[in-house]
Structure 1
Amino acid sequence: MIRARTAALAAVATLLSGCGVANAGQSSVDWQDCGNGVRCATMTVPVDWRRPGGPTTLTNLAEVPAKDPAHRLGALIVNWGSGSSTSTVHANPRPPVYDELTAHFDVVVIDSRGVGQADNHTLVPCPHPQPLPFDLVKATSQADWDAHARANAAYDAGCRQAAGPLFDGLTSWQTAHDIEALRVALGEPKLRYIGNSYGATYGQAYAELFPTHVQSMFLDGVPDHTQPRLEDWLRDRAVTQEQQLFRFRDWCGQSPNCVLRGSDPVRIWDDLVAHPPQGVTAGQLEMGMLNSLLTPPHLAQAGPGAGQGPGRRSERLPDEDRSPAAGVVGLPPRCDAVPRLPAECAELPGIPADRAASEGVAPHIGWTEGRLELGRCIGIPGRPSYPPAPLRAAGMPPALVAIGQLDSNAPNLGAAHVATQFPALGRCGTATVTPPTSCTATRA
């Protein structure tokens, strides 16, 4: 999901434009016109950058040229996270963020390995569908857990077979080298980079590998890949998810638009989970709540009670026959619903086997975030290929780190932890600076 917003782009453009770095000139990438003002290409890279003479693979690229070539500031490399980033360039209508960025830059979008397009051999065609991680939220028995683990293992085995030798190269470490190769191919003396969601993990890897090659970096929706302790990593996610519920309660107490105003939504929620309506399980309710918290007015209308007594409106929450990614009617899917290659699981600090690890700090709903991560990865074998570790980026200029305060998919506590490990910044345009961090812009 592209989460960069117009309100933040003035600060981003100021940061990315830098301090007089010269225009690097023509690109060595073999661009082809692919319609709608977009140019497309693939780039050949080693499967393993430790063995540059070994097998190769392709990464998928798309470029939206600057609107005024005579005054362009250079190329800006972008990765929007899990899924194909280049697909956003071909969307109709194209996300407005491109219109803002191409006022100054050629925007070059790079897909991470294995999630490009089938027609140019940049997509790993996994033969089995990815099990929905939401399914584990509603698990009530060991048999449910075992079935989900088997489904994940089948997904992983199919992807491994389809990817062949490339599978072991599906890491942020390798993707960061791909980004460096693209910078060189574009003829840019320094990297300007926007990384959103998992694209921010690639940014962290690049910052550690090539800190002196960075001119400017904007990371949005930042997963914390610098936190090796599972307990800390999981707590950040659980606490942020729990805060969403209490923020909803605060909103209800102040807004005339909340049909639950005058009651305590947290107590209503706890009572509903303890005594679900007939035909609805607690897991189904929790699965629906995960999506519904994203938009408080919809949750108030669809949630338990709605002024009519507990559970009267519970049919608006997802049931067994509906995609849990759909959430309450009319809401967009969570980023969790974007398919991910199982290799990403090898970049996590490790996942607990039950909800107890986060129940103490987030007993109402926050613990479900741990279940979601486990839902993606339980049953997938292998040791960490690029495990989390503290960030070392000596010699790099300060980065701009942005995050939504209640983004539990990439919690703001983790983003703040990442920001403290970049070089400190004295000032940062219009963004809020929280010493001693790098420039950190926090959105509601």
Structure 2
Amino acid sequence: MAEADTRTTSPTAIDWKPCPDHETAECGTLRLPVDRSRPEGETFDLAVARRKATDPDRRVGVLLVNPGGPGDSGVNYTLTRAEAQLSAELRSRFDVVGFDPRGVGGSRPVMCSKKLLDARPSVYPRDQGEFERLAAYNRELREDCRRHTGPLFDHADTLSVVHDMEALRKALGERRISFFGHSYGTLIGEQYAELYGDRIRAMSLTANVDHSITGTREFLVSSATSAEDSWRQFVKWCDRARSCALHGRDVPAVWDGLLERADRGGIRDPEQPGRTLDASEIALRVFKMFYGPDWAEAATFVARLDAQRPETPAPGEPPETGQPLKAEPFAAVFCQDWRFRPRDHREFARLTAAERQAAPHMRGSPRVHAALAGCVGWPERVNNPQHDLRLSKAPKLLMMHSRHDPANPLSWAAEVRRQTRGRAVLLTYEGAGHRVYDRSDCTRDAMDGYLVALKVPHDGSTCAAADPADGD
């Protein structure tokens, strides 16, 4: 049975007002300290959005949501995506509340000079000199972002976000909250459960992140293996689906040949005339299409690039936006959450070779490689170092994960579940893609039943691949 309303009185209420362009939702801010150890110091405003339960008489409570990133906006999710991605049952029974984590969106975003961001060197240094130039660039960019962002830059880690979420719970006047976290949002959920487990009514985590990994090689290789697995699923689909733009061709040969042409500077960017795409950029764009999975789009993109005639591209410049600054929170979060710091080119080259061996076609995990390279040259100390998850007061958590997730391997979810020591169950969606909850009736019913009525699926449960792209 669903629980009764868990509201209480809070001395620090949010001043809710109708959201601009979204009058059926409410927006507000919560003023919080930048540095939790200095509550009387500088503050920032945490941006929050809420869609109230559409059936208030059957309201269960508050469902906080975070869509991941790091850098995705919980406010934007609540205003523009929740109605399509969350079931009518969840929206009728919960106040859906999203917030922008510190450093993101409307919560004092991390800002950096666009000109400097555009000058980023290759994340594949070929020798010690290029490695040192990458480190020097990262240090320069870090100082630039700190200067334009202010003190919050040094406190953009997920552990600080977890304390913000607890302050938000109090401001909402809730004794306990329910939480839905996706991808990097699962790290917020995991650490909230670790510190504030008795404040949780229910917590569902999809596409889980394992924050216990301390070995850089293990992190890179596991990510690369997941990316390569998704590439193989894409190839299998192309072999059987007539709708694939590469159907009937040797897809691995086409793909490998395309990346080799890109290595020689022979592939033009169809979106920016005069600019070429290197192999890592092509791999990253296709990798992001695997999130859907949008396999038809990926095949069309690859076929379009492969069909290009060899020619020398005309010189061109990226289009000017007229904005000197750009929001760029990823490194500020990631490099304060993970202590991965390759010390020299020899170590970096060994890591790159290991991930390419694990993913010979995708050449590693494009996004994770770039994330690691972005931390080269950063200080060794991090605010939120990796550690095994330790839960003592949290209720039973529901974890859901795709077997063929391109970004976060299923092994990460299995390891997190193991660390909970019986305080979580893991349900596996047997298909592909990064999203899990809205893939099928099976996945939706499992999470809805858990969040609404606290009906916990059996550990090890599965949901069949349901999307035609996953199983036809």
Bucket of the pairwise TM-score, normalised by the shorter protein: 0.7 to 0.9
Aligned to 2:184: 198
Q: CA deviation at 1:367?
A: 1.5
Residues 147-183 of structure 1, C-alpha deviations (whole Å, 9 max, x = no match): 5444433331122223433333222111111111111
Task: List gaps (5 residues or longer) in structure 1.
Answer: 1-17, 324-336
Residues 380-427 of structure 1, C-alpha deviations (whole Å, 9 max, x = no match): 334221111110112312222233333333333323322332334579
Preserved contact between residue 228 and residue 390 of structure 1 (Cα < 8 Å): no
AA partner of residue 297 (structure 1):
A
Preserved contact between residue 161 and residue 188 of structure 2 (Cα < 8 Å): yes
Aligned to 1:287: 281
Preserved contact between residue 302 and residue 314 of structure 1 (Cα < 8 Å): no
1:38-437 equivalences under 5 Å are 38-81=25-68, 82-91=71-80, 95-97=83-85, 100=88, 101-117=90-106, 122-128=108-114, 131=117, 136=122, 145-274=131-260, 279-280=265-266, 284-293=278-287, 294=290, 295-303=294-302, 311-313=306-308, 339-350=329-340, 352=342, 353-354=348-349, 355-369=352-366, 370-422=368-420, 423-424=422-423, 430-431=445-446
Q: CA deviation at 1:320?
A: 9.8
AA partner of residue 241 (structure 1):
A
Preserved contact between residue 390 and residue 419 of structure 2 (Cα < 8 Å): yes
RMSD of Structure 2 on Structure 1 (CA): 3.8
Label 1:83 to 1:64 Cα distance change in 2 as closer, same or farther (>3 A). Answer: same
Label 1:314 to 1:350 Cα distance change in 2 as closer, same or farther (>3 A). Answer: farther
Preserved contact between residue 104 and residue 329 of structure 2 (Cα < 8 Å): no
Number of residue pairs aligned between Structure 1 and Structure 2: 403
Label 1:174 to 1:313 Cα distance change in 2 as closer, same or farther (>3 A). Answer: same
Task: State how far apart, in whole Å, the 2-side matches of 1:45 and 1:409 are.
Answer: 32
Label 1:434 to 1:189 Cα distance change in 2 as closer, same or farther (>3 A). Answer: closer
Preserved contact between residue 29 and residue 47 of structure 2 (Cα < 8 Å): yes
Label 1:266 to 1:188 Cα distance change in 2 as closer, same or farther (>3 A). Answer: same
Preserved contact between residue 229 and residue 349 of structure 1 (Cα < 8 Å): no
Residues 292-342 of structure 1, C-alpha deviations (whole Å, 9 max, x = no match): 2523323333426x8xxx943488xx999799xxxxxxxxxxxxx975252
Residues 62-100 of structure 1, C-alpha deviations (whole Å, 9 max, x = no match): 111111223221111122232332133444x87513573
Task: State how far apart, in whole Å, the 2-side matches of 1:126 and 1:171 are.
Answer: 17
For the residue of structure 1 that corresponds to 2:27, the secondary structure is strand
Task: State how far apart, in whole Å, the 1-side matches of 2:109 and 2:418 are.
Answer: 35
Matched, 1:34 2:19: yes
Residues 22-64 of structure 1, C-alpha deviations (whole Å, 9 max, x = no match): 3315663222223422222211223233344444332111111
Task: State how far apart, in whole Å, the 2-side matches of 1:128 and 1:262 are.
Answer: 43
Preserved contact between residue 34 and residue 40 of structure 1 (Cα < 8 Å): yes
For the residue of structure 2 that corresponds to 1:158, the secondary structure is helix
Label 1:222 to 1:136 Cα distance change in 2 as closer, same or farther (>3 A). Answer: farther
Label 1:427 to 1:220 Cα distance change in 2 as closer, same or farther (>3 A). Answer: closer
* TM-score (normalised: structure 1): 0.77
Aligned to 1:22: 5
Task: State how far apart, in whole Å, the 1-side matches of 2:309 and 2:192 are.
Answer: 46
Label 1:434 to 1:214 Cα distance change in 2 as closer, same or farther (>3 A). Answer: closer
Preserved contact between residue 206 and residue 399 of structure 2 (Cα < 8 Å): yes
Task: State how far apart, in whole Å, the 2-side matches of 1:436 and 1:170 are.
Answer: 34
Preserved contact between residue 226 and residue 389 of structure 1 (Cα < 8 Å): yes
Preserved contact between residue 237 and residue 366 of structure 1 (Cα < 8 Å): no
For the residue of structure 2 that corresponds to 1:303, the secondary structure is helix
Q: CA deviation at 1:113?
A: 0.8
Label 1:143 to 1:229 Cα distance change in 2 as closer, same or farther (>3 A). Answer: closer
For the residue of structure 2 that corresponds to 1:103, the secondary structure is helix
AA partner of residue 63 (structure 1):
R
Which stretch shifts more, 172-181 or 277-286? Answer: 277-286
Task: State how far apart, in whole Å, the 1-side matches of 2:284 and 2:314 are.
Answer: 13
Label 1:131 to 1:398 Cα distance change in 2 as closer, same or farther (>3 A). Answer: farther
Label 1:207 to 1:253 Cα distance change in 2 as closer, same or farther (>3 A). Answer: same
Task: List gaps (5 residues or longer) in structure 2.
Answer: 268-275, 319-326, 343-347, 428-441, 448-455
Label 1:88 to 1:358 Cα distance change in 2 as closer, same or farther (>3 A). Answer: same
